[in-house]
Structure 1
Amino acid sequence: MPETARNREDVCVLEGTAPAARVHALEQRLPGLTRGEGDLESSFARYAPVTHGTIPERPRTDHNPLNRKECLLSVTGRVSG
Protein backbone atom coordinates (compact mmCIF):
# COMPACT_ATOMS: atom_id res chain seq x y z
CA MET A 1 0.00 0.00 0.00
CA PRO A 2 1.60 3.31 -1.05
CA GLU A 3 2.09 5.70 1.85
CA THR A 4 4.06 8.56 0.31
CA ALA A 5 4.73 9.80 -3.22
CA ARG A 6 7.21 12.45 -4.27
CA ASN A 7 8.82 13.67 -7.45
CA ARG A 8 12.57 13.94 -7.70
CA GLU A 9 13.56 15.59 -11.00
CA ASP A 10 12.07 13.25 -13.64
CA VAL A 11 11.50 10.36 -11.21
CA CYS A 12 8.44 9.58 -9.11
CA VAL A 13 9.19 7.74 -5.84
CA LEU A 14 6.47 5.74 -4.09
CA GLU A 15 7.09 4.43 -0.59
CA GLY A 16 4.90 2.06 1.36
CA THR A 17 4.46 -1.38 2.83
CA ALA A 18 3.37 -4.67 1.32
CA PRO A 19 3.03 -8.20 2.65
CA ALA A 20 6.11 -10.26 1.79
CA ALA A 21 3.91 -12.79 0.02
CA ARG A 22 2.93 -10.15 -2.56
CA VAL A 23 6.36 -8.71 -3.38
CA HIS A 24 7.10 -11.30 -6.09
CA ALA A 25 3.80 -10.58 -7.86
CA LEU A 26 4.57 -6.85 -7.77
CA GLU A 27 8.01 -7.49 -9.28
CA GLN A 28 6.33 -9.41 -12.11
CA ARG A 29 3.75 -6.68 -12.82
CA LEU A 30 6.04 -3.65 -12.48
CA PRO A 31 7.51 -3.69 -16.02
CA GLY A 32 4.02 -3.64 -17.55
CA LEU A 33 2.82 -0.91 -15.22
CA THR A 34 5.82 1.34 -15.91
CA ARG A 35 6.60 0.52 -19.56
CA GLY A 36 9.77 -1.20 -18.42
CA GLU A 37 11.13 1.81 -16.57
CA GLY A 38 10.10 0.94 -13.00
CA ASP A 39 12.56 -0.21 -10.37
CA LEU A 40 11.56 -1.98 -7.15
CA GLU A 41 13.63 -1.89 -3.99
CA SER A 42 12.35 -3.85 -1.02
CA SER A 43 13.56 -4.86 2.41
CA PHE A 44 12.05 -6.74 5.31
CA ALA A 45 10.72 -4.37 7.96
CA ARG A 46 8.95 -6.41 10.63
CA TYR A 47 6.81 -9.38 11.51
CA ALA A 48 3.11 -8.69 11.93
CA PRO A 49 0.31 -10.99 13.03
CA VAL A 50 -2.36 -12.03 10.54
CA THR A 51 -5.40 -10.02 11.60
CA HIS A 52 -7.89 -11.07 8.93
CA GLY A 53 -8.43 -13.94 6.52
CA THR A 54 -6.81 -17.32 6.85
CA ILE A 55 -3.35 -17.81 8.26
CA PRO A 56 -0.98 -18.68 5.39
CA GLU A 57 0.60 -22.13 5.43
CA ARG A 58 3.67 -23.35 3.63
CA PRO A 59 4.57 -27.02 3.24
CA ARG A 60 7.95 -28.14 4.55
CA THR A 61 10.59 -28.01 1.81
CA ASP A 62 13.36 -29.80 3.67
CA HIS A 63 13.80 -32.71 6.06
CA ASN A 64 12.18 -32.71 9.48
CA PRO A 65 14.76 -31.57 12.10
CA LEU A 66 12.78 -33.42 14.77
CA ASN A 67 13.52 -36.73 13.01
CA ARG A 68 17.17 -37.12 14.06
CA LYS A 69 18.09 -39.91 11.63
CA GLU A 70 16.49 -38.19 8.63
CA CYS A 71 18.08 -34.88 9.51
CA LEU A 72 21.60 -36.28 10.04
CA LEU A 73 21.45 -38.26 6.79
CA SER A 74 20.31 -35.16 4.95
CA VAL A 75 23.06 -32.96 6.40
CA THR A 76 25.78 -35.49 5.56
CA GLY A 77 24.45 -35.76 2.01
CA ARG A 78 23.68 -39.47 2.15
CA VAL A 79 19.99 -39.05 1.44
CA SER A 80 18.53 -37.02 -1.42
CA GLY A 81 15.21 -35.21 -1.14
Structure 2
Amino acid sequence: MSRLPPPPLENLRRHLRARKNRAGARDSFLRETFTLPRGEARLKAREWFERYPKAAYWTEVESWRVLPGDEVEFTMRRLPSAD
Protein backbone atom coordinates (compact mmCIF):
# COMPACT_ATOMS: atom_id res chain seq x y z
CA MET A 1 0.00 0.00 0.00
CA SER A 2 1.45 3.35 -1.00
CA ARG A 3 1.25 6.45 1.12
CA LEU A 4 0.21 9.72 -0.44
CA PRO A 5 2.25 12.79 0.37
CA PRO A 6 0.52 15.41 2.51
CA PRO A 7 -1.42 18.00 0.51
CA PRO A 8 0.28 21.33 -0.17
CA LEU A 9 -0.72 24.01 2.32
CA GLU A 10 -0.26 27.02 0.06
CA ASN A 11 -3.98 27.19 -0.83
CA LEU A 12 -4.89 27.17 2.85
CA ARG A 13 -2.32 29.87 3.60
CA ARG A 14 -3.64 32.03 0.74
CA HIS A 15 -7.22 31.58 1.96
CA LEU A 16 -6.32 32.55 5.54
CA ARG A 17 -4.41 35.66 4.38
CA ALA A 18 -7.33 36.77 2.19
CA ARG A 19 -9.81 36.23 5.02
CA LYS A 20 -7.65 38.25 7.42
CA ASN A 21 -7.39 41.11 4.91
CA ARG A 22 -11.16 41.15 4.33
CA ALA A 23 -11.87 41.18 8.07
CA GLY A 24 -9.54 44.13 8.63
CA ALA A 25 -11.13 46.09 5.81
CA ARG A 26 -14.64 45.79 7.34
CA ASP A 27 -13.62 47.10 10.73
CA SER A 28 -13.11 50.85 10.72
CA PHE A 29 -12.34 51.19 14.44
CA LEU A 30 -9.09 52.75 15.59
CA ARG A 31 -7.34 50.91 18.40
CA GLU A 32 -4.54 51.74 20.77
CA THR A 33 -3.05 49.38 23.35
CA PHE A 34 -1.52 50.60 26.60
CA THR A 35 0.38 48.94 29.45
CA LEU A 36 0.26 51.14 32.53
CA PRO A 37 0.11 50.91 36.33
CA ARG A 38 -3.50 50.52 37.50
CA GLY A 39 -4.02 54.18 38.51
CA GLU A 40 -2.54 55.56 35.30
CA ALA A 41 -4.59 53.08 33.28
CA ARG A 42 -7.79 54.46 34.82
CA LEU A 43 -6.71 58.01 34.01
CA LYS A 44 -5.85 57.10 30.42
CA ALA A 45 -9.23 55.42 29.89
CA ARG A 46 -11.04 58.48 31.34
CA GLU A 47 -8.98 60.71 29.06
CA TRP A 48 -10.14 58.72 26.03
CA PHE A 49 -13.80 58.87 27.10
CA GLU A 50 -13.55 62.65 27.61
CA ARG A 51 -11.76 63.25 24.31
CA TYR A 52 -13.90 60.79 22.32
CA PRO A 53 -17.37 60.61 23.94
CA LYS A 54 -18.92 57.14 23.81
CA ALA A 55 -22.16 58.39 22.23
CA ALA A 56 -20.35 59.96 19.28
CA TYR A 57 -17.33 57.69 18.74
CA TRP A 58 -18.52 54.35 20.19
CA THR A 59 -15.47 54.50 22.44
CA GLU A 60 -14.92 51.45 24.63
CA VAL A 61 -12.33 49.39 26.43
CA GLU A 62 -12.12 46.50 23.99
CA SER A 63 -10.02 44.18 26.16
CA TRP A 64 -7.92 44.30 29.30
CA ARG A 65 -5.84 42.08 31.59
CA VAL A 66 -3.95 42.55 34.82
CA LEU A 67 -0.22 41.84 34.57
CA PRO A 68 2.26 41.12 37.37
CA GLY A 69 3.27 44.20 39.31
CA ASP A 70 -0.29 45.61 39.26
CA GLU A 71 0.04 46.79 35.67
CA VAL A 72 -2.92 46.70 33.32
CA GLU A 73 -2.70 46.06 29.59
CA PHE A 74 -5.77 47.33 27.78
CA THR A 75 -6.93 48.22 24.30
CA MET A 76 -9.12 51.25 23.66
CA ARG A 77 -11.29 51.29 20.55
CA ARG A 78 -13.16 54.15 18.85
CA LEU A 79 -14.49 55.25 15.51
CA PRO A 80 -12.24 57.66 13.59
CA SER A 81 -14.84 60.45 13.43
CA ALA A 82 -18.16 61.40 14.98
CA ASP A 83 -20.35 61.57 11.90
Higher-strand-fraction structure? 2
TM range (shorter): 0.3 to 0.5
The TM-score, its normalising length taken from structure 1, stands at 0.38
Q: TM-score, normalised by structure 2?
A: 0.38
Q: Could you say which structure has the greater relative contact order, defined with CA pairs below 8 angstroms and 6 or more residues apart?
A: 2
